[in-house]
A and B are shown apart, each in its own frame.
Chain A
């Protein structure tokens, strides 16, 4: 198929040879301040290729902000982000795709939204048509392909946003609480879609405050509270054995009060 797929295959081959899984994306001592307020402090984390990393934590922990920094939308105050061991660059950003909590859809048809993304990443002709059909099929939007995107239901809009994020075959898919405003049925559809994306070898980083969703989807877990990482590791281990009091409290459903307000 395309060159990027060849590259990914050889990258995977390297991983198998070396016997370790080096991070696809990592953050070192990431700090972000706004008007002197530290919103993220010394965040260290690694996103391993091919896995689903879920960032959880209470509201206001800085989860969405972290996602934007990892995607290069907002410059960090200090610290470093590495993509495949290299400093984060524009190329790294174009190998990622992001889906926002409230889907940002063009004021055009479903079809035109997909075509727009494909045009931006340089697909034309029959290959573009093939990818459009694939996206419509996986998102179940075939029947509404010619409807204006913004008259779709909330669930359909978010499915379109994810399908659009996937059309250019990103290596990493970033999702910022994609199901926060959706009912259980729509949520389930989105989760299936995420499952399918990761089944295609796409690495996923998703922010959620929904514990159940985290348990369903997470391979790896990052627990964020008050702008700090208060626990990170393989999800099953961490859920069974939370490393910090803060995380334990949150998992138990105890109310959290920000430290500086105490």
Chain B
């Protein structure tokens, strides 16, 4: 089939798709943004600490973090499913097939990316700052905050990498979310569903929407970046 024709048809389809597109887009963003924020709260301090402190087992930890960046989403989905399943250790919480389950899965997926990439960024900056900070007598705590703040531009790119992975991911959210209409259906699972229905033009159109959503998020982050640049010099 001609790709150009397919694209044109896609735009036509998306404008009169009966399912609630805005609901799906909004849920995608809710889940992914929450997961990325959680992953940052976990991953950035881990990255900063591993990047600046010397301790036993450090290289092993770095290797582990780098390997975990390549975690297959389906495996994460399966493990989170087994944890949250009614028969699993966290079954009583009743989180399976809810947006929370998807947030947990994506947090697990994204945290190693944030931690591993920020570790490298922070460590490079620390190489430059180490002697000056020792001379000033900066405490370990203050060091972590200062490095995270001073590396903020590079770290925003790290966060966007994490966002990209989470928002495009389908395997894990499909398993733990169940792709339930109006509850856990997000962009990627909707695309998978339409593909399996043979509605290829619609699937492609949803893919384009996902791309546009990603574009908008990147623009917002860049605007936010402009804000903190001004804030830094105020």
Contact = CB atoms under 8 A, between A and B. Distances in A.
- Touching chains A and B, CB distance < 8 Å: yes
A79 B33 CA distance: 57
A64 to B, nearest CB: 11
Contacts of A148: 232-233
Contact of A116 (B135, B146, B233): B146
Interface in A87-130: 90, 93-94, 96-98, 100, 104, 106-109, 112, 116-117, 119-121
Contacts of B134: 73
Interface in B101-159: 128-129, 131-132, 134-139, 142, 146, 149-151, 153
B131 A109 contact: no
B138 A107 contact: no
A135 to B, nearest CB: 14
B3 interface: no
A71 interface: yes
A161 to B, nearest CB: 9
B63 interface: no
A104 B233 contact: no
A147 interface: yes
Contact of A106 (B137, B146, B153, B233): B146
Task: Output the residue of A93, A97, A106, A148 with the most chain B CB within 10 A.
Answer: A106
A146 interface: yes
B149 to A, nearest CB: 8
B131 A112 contact: no
A147 B232 CA distance: 9
A107 B137 contact: no
Contact of B129 (A68, A71, A104, A119): A104
Contacts of B131: 68, 73, 98, 100, 104
B234 interface: yes
A96 B135 CA distance: 8
Interface residues of B, number: 19
A98 B132 CA distance: 8
A108 B146 CA distance: 10
Secondary structure type dominating chain A contacts: mixed
A112 B150 CA distance: 11
B146 A71 contact: no
A109 B137 contact: no
B232 A112 contact: yes
Nearest to A90: B137
Contact of B132 (A104, A107, A112, A119): A104
B135 A108 contact: no
Given A100-B131, A148-B232, A108 B137 contact: no
A146 B136 contact: no
Contacts of A93: 135, 137
Contact of A104 (B128, B142, B149, B151): B128
Interface string B219-234: 0000000000000111
Given A104-B128, A116-B146, A121 B137 contact: yes
Interface string A60-96: 0000000010010100000000000000001001101
18 contacts: A68-B131, A73-B134, A73-B135, A93-B135, A98-B135, A100-B131, A104-B131, A106-B129, A106-B150, A107-B151, A107-B153, A107-B232, A108-B233, A120-B137, A121-B137, A146-B233, A146-B234, A148-B233
